[in-house]
Amino acid sequence: MDWDRYKSDSFYSQVLTYWYDEWNSIAEEVKNGMIGINIVNIRVVLLDIINEYELNQFESDNNRKVYIKLIDTLISKKYISFFREELLIIKEKLERKEKTAVYVISKELSIKISKQSFANILFDELYSILEMKLFQKKYRLRVM
């Protein structure tokens, strides 16, 4: 990218070029199949939990443990903060093997989440970082 032509723009900064390069790098890795499996998506996790209950009633203890680990990963994400309490309850119910409760809460949360746009939340966050030209690591981590 030829950044010289944008240097007079008030929005231009080192932060903008950093995020541009970061986005390109991630997009290349996804395109080349290098990442993707490690991306945890709350919608997919909830649908998997619902399917696991409907098809197998959580017969596999290993599957239950995988869902607990995936929920732990989700809980650490900033953009999930709106749903942290529900995820903590699902995790607790999974640990206690309260299958029906996990199923019911997961279905309700899935419906609630279907109305959210996480991309908008993250883009709003990124926009404010770009606008204020914040480059410290703590600000970059808010979007990652």
In this prediction, residues 73-87 reach a mean pLDDT of 84
Same domain assignment for residues 54 and 107: yes
* pLDDT value at residue 39: 61
Identify the domain containing residue 70 by its residue range: 42-113
For residue 19, tell me if it sits in a domain.
yes
Within-domain flag for 75 = yes
pLDDT at 81 over 60: yes
Q: Is 126 inside any structural domain?
A: yes
Which tokens hold the place of 13?
């900064």
1 domain-assigned: no
